[in-house]
Amino acid sequence: MIDYVRRILDARVYDVAERTPLDPMVRLSKRIGASVYLKREDLQPVFSFKIRGAYNRIVQLSNEAKVAGIICASAGNHAQGVALSAHKLGIVATIVMPVTTPTIKIEAVRYWGGKVVLHGDTFDEAYEHALRMAQRQGLTFVHPYDDRDVIAGQGTVGVEILHQHPDPIEAIFVPIGGGGLAAGIAAYVKFLRPETKIIGVEPADAACMKAAISAGHRVVLDRVGLFADGVAVRQAGEETFRLCRELLDDVLVADTDAMCAAIKDIFEDVRVLSEPAGALSLVGLKSYAFANPHRSGSLIAINSGANLNFDRLRHVAERAEVGEAREILLAVTIPEEPGSYRRFVQVLGNHIVTEFNYRYAEGSQAHVFVGLKLADAKREKPEIIAELKALGYEVIDISLDETAKLHIRYMVGGRAQGLSDELILRCEFPERPGALLKFLDGVGTDWNITLFHYRNHGADYGRVLVGMQVPVSDRSRFFKRMASLGYPYEDETANDAYRLFLRS
């Protein structure tokens, strides 16, 4: 620990990095009853903290290594840090990035003179390719997190926080991908203020550090979600795991909706659009604040980056209200008869309707997909559902139903009469030219496609809801074909939203 404190205090970062402010979040503080501060690493020259560790590693290379050149693998933020550092030091830098990397990050690397090599659909594929190139070409590989000098560079964030906030700090919340930032901050803060909690926060679909700490050893996740691409890591670093296991007080997880809500919180307080990974720590802060009403000291979240593709704002805005528990989505069954629609709307009273999908269908029942905006959904939702059920309506809460939120809400109203043997699958694949065609080619023409919904969400992965007519006797072969594609998928044939709105 003392060794790391010395490394952090000696770190060379300010040749390129900024001492970023610690801004109060006035609106959020009032809402949750806590003194909340945001460490603004989004204000770095590359809009991310990664510049600190990258430069501290590269500046300490030998002259021979600098002349030979450097290489790294990254989905974006580390890549920009390496490119800018190399530009500053006059070093040739090769950056291997997944094909799925958002354009904004690729162009930023090229702006700083980095040589971009696009390879693979995932970070792991880019990482292995970069290691092979480093060996063949005699380049120095600059690891994004599992390196002592990189960790020390990231630890300077902790130095600044303690200088900027001499008053008591209850907890500092840090986003975790591979763990470099969390390890660096924890090593410094725990040495000087052991009473301050350091709490890591990971996406629920990429929680490699939490899984490693629970298991007592590093684990490799089968797959990771891509929404928070800046922390989409399958395995924590060896050195970062050692430090985090020893120094972190806890690791919390966050879902997509909660990250979208946190992006909105940051925008409302400081007028900046954080990337999902950047807002991750604020999700943990809010969760901790509500679960621990008796606190002493401020709560600090690290806004680790703001490299957000503008197109992704569609998805963020759509999901923020649900993530903040200000909107609920309900599937309500009402009588299919004249006047029924009007009576149901009257029951909703003065609640703001955010979405209402309905279409006439044969039979005695109609199914309505409705969204309601509420001041406090956690409190009001049970009351509304109870009121609707008391009036004889069948109600299903689909606020947390991923298929309903991604697809069904846009497809309400269609049923194929007389259709048998239908399977419904929710699939993901890397968003790249030809990916959709590749998916269809992989599925083949042996089975009839009965439903297909695809919507571009401005993310680096595409999402499809597909219906296939597959006889029961042929399903084993069908699922083997799906497995061979290598794309993650979920069988949604028993999904309530699909049953109510699409199935005959």
Phi, psi (deg, nearest 5) at residue 15: -65, -30
**Is residue 304 annotated as a catalytic residue, yes or no?**
yes
**pLDDT tens digits, residue range 23-55?**
999 999 999 999 999 999 999 999 999 999 999
Share of the chain above pLDDT 70, in %: 92
Nearest to 197 by CA among 251, 252, 253, 249: 249
Least confident interval from 83-92, 344-353, 433-442, 473-482: 433-442
Nearest to 410 by CA among 448, 460, 359: 359
> DSSP letter at 443?
H
- Residue for token pair 């029924």: 340
Find the catalytic residue in 35, 85, 298, 304.
Answer: 304
Find the catalytic residue in 39, 50, 381, 405.
Answer: 50
CA distance 69 to 294: 53
Exposure string (b/e) for 149-180, b if CB count within 10 Å is 16 or more? Answer: bbbbbbbbbbbbbbeebeeebbbbbbbbbbbb
**pLDDT tens digits, residue range 126-156?**
999 999 999 999 999 999 999 999 999 999 9
Q: Is the dihedral of CA 268, 269, 273, 276 positive or negative?
A: negative
Share of the chain above pLDDT 90, in %: 59
Structure tokens at 477: 């072969």
Sequence-separated (6 or more) residues with CB below 8 Å from residue 331: 367, 368, 369, 395, 396, 398, 404, 496, 497, 500, 501
Find out whether 371 and 353 touch, Cβ atoms under 8 Å.
yes
pTM for this predicted structure = 0.78
Q: Is the dihedral of CA 382, 387, 388, 391 positive or negative?
A: positive
Q: What is the pLDDT of residue 435?
A: 65
**pLDDT tens digits, residue range 317-341?**
777 777 776 788 899 998 867 667 6
For the segment 234-257, the average pLDDT, to the nearest whole number, is 96
Q: What is the pLDDT of residue 264?
A: 93
Q: What is the pLDDT of residue 52?
A: 98
Distance of CA 90 to the CA centre of its chain: 34
**pLDDT tens digits, residue range 391-403?**
889 999 998 888 8
Phi, psi (deg, nearest 5) at residue 411: -125, 5
Find out whether 139 and 117 touch, Cβ atoms under 8 Å.
no
Domains of the chain by start residue, with CATH: 2-48+148-321 (3.40.50.1100), 50-141 (3.40.50.1100), 325-400 (3.30.70.260), 418-501 (3.40.1020.10)
Q: What is the pLDDT of residue 414?
A: 66
Could you give the count of Cα atoms lying within 13 Å of 462 in the half-sphere of its Cβ? 21
Find out whether 106 and 82 touch, Cβ atoms under 8 Å.
no
pLDDT at 360 over 60: no
Q: What is the pLDDT of residue 402?
A: 84
